[in-house]
Structure 1
Amino acid sequence: MQVSQSEQLPKLPAGWKWIALEELCERVSVGHVGETSSHFTDSDGIKFLRSQNVRPGRVELHDIKHVSKSFHLKSKKSQLQQGDILVVRVGHNRGDCAVLPRGLGDVNCANIVFARLKDTKFSDYVGYFLNTKLGRSLLLAVSTGSAQAVLNTKSVAKVLIPKPPVEEAKIIGDWLKIIDDKIVLNQQTNKPTNQQTNKTLEQMAQVLFKSWFVDFNPVMDNALAAGNPIPGELTHRVEVRKKAHALPDFQPLPEHIRNLFPSEFEQTGEPTVGIGGCTPKDWTLGELSDLMVLQRGFDLPKHSRTDGEFPLMAASGQDGTHNQSKVAGPGVVTGRSGKLGVTTFVNEDFWPLNTTLWIKEYKASNPYHAFFFLQSLPLEEFNSGSAVPTLNRNHIHNYKCYIPSINVTEAFKEIISKYFTKLSENSKQNTRGC
């Protein structure tokens, strides 16, 4: 989409361009329109977002309503997905914008325009831009109506967005999110502070995992320093890394860690592995079963459970406690039946229920690496159930992936284990009410 000089939009860096939001989107739609109160149910229902739940940069859940599952299934048009851009369409907070975070499960909505992006790497970036002074003014400028201004789907779809290369958008979004969380953290006290600290620590760990095992930044840095050739599939990453190096707060990895990474890439022949099939040299091609072995959890009927010191882990996370454990911590579980895609790190000994898969053996991984690795996989796509979502461990064991150097995964463990020790301490403080 061409932008005329008269629109007085800022000049963009090389490689960026102004485009309509709809060019990034799979769809731009609106939440449920019509009466909803008769479908409200208790907290066991489906989360139902309304305009008051969407605030600039965040989704508020303290007064959220829930609707029946039948209403949710019937109202497919207003079902939300993780990474959707949410915009309040009418009312006193018209134009407030947030990104739907991960981990909320099924969500439906009303009085909200939402944009579903083709590539969710842009989600946080777009969300932050629409909350800037310029982004909000561009958004409100397309309001329609005289008596009461309204943002409709067609007008929101036409809002102009400064589009950077996808990797730059992801880096900007990741770091703004960390900074945003730190600001919120400083505004909290005591128990909320511990909760926000935990969130920030986990996000910092996610950024490190992505840098090492998804973007291969240390390998790229070593290759550039050595003057080694960069495969064509990775040339877009060269400029991204050079810009990162030029930032005033850029800090290179300590030499002893940097030396653990190779300085060359190689093509695996599997385009879905690594970046376009490229992985660090000597990080071999394999299957998930070469990294770890998943095992079905253990039966424990509710009438046989006794409250105790050990977490009971279900498909969606912890579901009470028991006076016995089955697995020594730290460990990792993910949903096997009913709820897929939720992966949980458990610091202490625990009992994984039969609705979960737990990692029985770490062949070329460890709990810290495995936790973020499983989080990065589209586990919902491995659903083999019909009526009830089910994850078959044999299917996921065959997933093609690369096997990183054990020295690198152990270095990651050494760094991240300190974060998770702090996470555990904070959680225990909150439980004690300290």
Structure 2
Amino acid sequence: MDIVSIESIAFIADGNYSSKYPRNDEFISEGVPFIRANNFENSTISDKDMLFISKEKHSTITKGHLKYNDVLITTRGNIGKTALVPKRHENSNINAQIVLLRCKENCYPKYLMHSFSIPFVKNQLDNNTTGTALKQLSVGNLRKIQIPLPPLATQKAIAEKLDKADALRKKDQELLKQYDELAQSIFIDMFGDPVQNEKGWDLINFEEVLKLKRGYDLPVQDRNQNGNIPVYGSNGILDYHTISKTNKPCIVTGRSGTIGKVHRTEQNCWPLNTTLYSYEIYDNNITYLEYLLNNLRIDRFAHGAGVPTLDRKIVHKEFIPNIKVELQNQFAEKIKNIEAQKELVKKQAEASENLFQALLQESFSFT
């Protein structure tokens, strides 16, 4: 079994165009797709939120021109995400976060993409990454990354097996996404957009429905991870502790840094000082409030350039639809049924993930 460097089996180029890099005013509504890391989805390219450049601009920045079945890998920020270029993105372009790998005759693209998921390769990526605030993997270091390279026929067999297992994972993930979309559509169907209030509900002051309060400081060294009390940051559960700051179900959302993500917890918790949490919901339904807060898009009230901050006093002054509790409860019952189905799919998704990881380990056991 050969262990070879990436540069020996693939042509390598990135989207770092220096002074020729597209300016903000050079992005247009239609044209040549300019792929970014956020366009990576399920190992391929999503057209959602795609940027475009003109053909003229595209012709001046040539090293990132893509071909069908190129392997793309992120080398800034979230390093090591991969995607395979579909036919529709033949001759698209890439930004500075991305490097393209174009397999030579002894390398199968899907095998190369899957190889970035094994510990042997992931550890090399970690060891060759630099930077703290913004992690980076230089093209020079990427060239030196080594992967196991069996004969081409074996590469294809491994890729085919992993593709089938990966398809099961994606099916479960897509089903979970569809359940989330169904829940959102039920909210809009019942209540409409709470910002636009196109259904003409009577309005009520936000803080008469829900009052938010700043969370509490809890340094990492003071947390007791043997506890079962979740510690919430703006992105969700960060840790666990033995003491809670709430004594009832609540809503937690980001106050500083990440703004707009909403989390509902049915158990007591410790919301950190980077969050706001609901300390008074009156008789309103907690599930309804979660969806209400999501649909209010409270990130629009954030201010500050470096680290965005959400001032609860501004949110409290908003006027929102006044929905009777009976109707809130009806909505919550529908969501309860959806969440029950989601739990079944999550168990299935966990099994699919375990299957994929087992096959991955088995397929690359020669490392």
Q: TM-score, normalised by structure 2?
A: 0.51
CA shift in 2, pair 1:193/1:323, >3 Å = farther
Is 1:84 the counterpart of 2:3? The answer is no
State the partner residue of 2:126: none
Greater C-alpha Rg = 2
1:30-429 aligned at under 5 Å gives the runs 34=17, 51=35, 59-60=40-41, 84-86=49-51, 90-93=65-68, 149=91, 187-189=167-169, 196-214=174-192, 273-275=196-198, 279=200, 283-307=201-225, 308-328=227-247, 330-363=249-282, 365-385=284-304, 387-423=306-342
CA shift in 2, pair 1:390/1:52, >3 Å = closer
Q: In structure 1, the residue corresponding to 2:182 is in which secondary structure?
A: helix
Structure 1: any 5+ residue segments left out of the alignment?
1-30, 37-48, 65-81, 95-105, 108-130, 141-147, 153-183, 217-271
Name the CA distance, whole Å, in 2 between partners of 1:187 and 1:431.
14
Q: Is the 8 A contact 2:213 2:278 kept in 1?
A: yes
Q: CA deviation at 1:188?
A: 1.9
Q: CA deviation at 1:386?
A: 5.6
Name the CA distance, whole Å, in 1 between partners of 2:228 and 2:350.
12
What amino acid sits opposite 1:204 in the alignment?
A: L
Q: CA deviation at 1:212?
A: 1.0
Name the CA distance, whole Å, in 1 between partners of 2:17 and 2:342.
43
Name the CA distance, whole Å, in 2 between partners of 1:59 and 1:149.
17
RMSD: 4.6
CA shift in 2, pair 1:304/1:293, >3 Å = same
Name the CA distance, whole Å, in 2 between partners of 1:363 and 1:185.
48
Query: Identity percentage over the alignment?
Result: 26
Name the CA distance, whole Å, in 2 between partners of 1:195 and 1:347.
24
Name the CA distance, whole Å, in 1 between partners of 2:49 and 2:243.
41
Deviations 1:342-386 (A, max 9, x none): 112224332211111111222363221111111112322212446
Deviations 1:88-134 (A, max 9, x none): 9741249xxxxxxxxxxx99xxxxxxxxxxxxxxxxxxxxxxx9x9x
CA shift in 2, pair 1:50/1:326, >3 Å = farther
Q: CA deviation at 1:410?
A: 0.9
Q: CA deviation at 1:330?
A: 4.0
Name the CA distance, whole Å, in 2 between partners of 1:207 and 1:289.
26
Q: CA deviation at 1:200?
A: 3.0
Name the CA distance, whole Å, in 2 between partners of 1:352 and 1:51.
37
Name the CA distance, whole Å, in 2 between partners of 1:197 and 1:379.
27
Q: Is the 8 A contact 1:296 1:358 kept in 2?
A: yes
Q: CA deviation at 1:430?
A: 7.5
CA shift in 2, pair 1:358/1:198, >3 Å = farther
Q: In structure 1, the residue corresponding to 2:67 is in which secondary structure?
A: coil
CA shift in 2, pair 1:85/1:150, >3 Å = closer
Deviations 1:162-210 (A, max 9, x none): xxxxxxxxxxxxxxxxxxxxxx999425xx7665544332222111111
Q: Is the 8 A contact 1:273 1:402 kept in 2?
A: no
CA shift in 2, pair 1:349/1:188, >3 Å = farther
State the partner residue of 2:28: none
Number of residue pairs the alignment of both structures matches: 233
CA shift in 2, pair 1:404/1:60, >3 Å = same
Q: In structure 1, the residue corresponding to 2:290 is in which secondary structure?
A: helix
CA shift in 2, pair 1:430/1:354, >3 Å = farther
State the partner residue of 2:125: none
Q: Is the 8 A contact 2:253 2:262 kept in 1?
A: yes
Q: In structure 1, the residue corresponding to 2:293 is in which secondary structure?
A: helix
Structure 2: any 5+ residue segments left out of the alignment?
1-13, 20-32, 59-64, 70-76, 79-85, 95-163, 355-367
CA shift in 2, pair 1:33/1:186, >3 Å = closer
What amino acid sits opposite 1:393 in the alignment?
A: R
Q: CA deviation at 1:392?
A: 1.2
Name the CA distance, whole Å, in 2 between partners of 1:346 and 1:92.
46
Name the CA distance, whole Å, in 2 between partners of 1:62 and 1:187.
11
Q: Is the 8 A contact 2:34 2:51 kept in 1?
A: no
State the partner residue of 1:264: none
Q: Is the 8 A contact 2:193 2:295 kept in 1?
A: no
Deviations 1:60-91 (A, max 9, x none): 37799xxxxxxxxxxxxxxxxx9623569741
Name the CA distance, whole Å, in 1 between partners of 2:274 and 2:338.
28
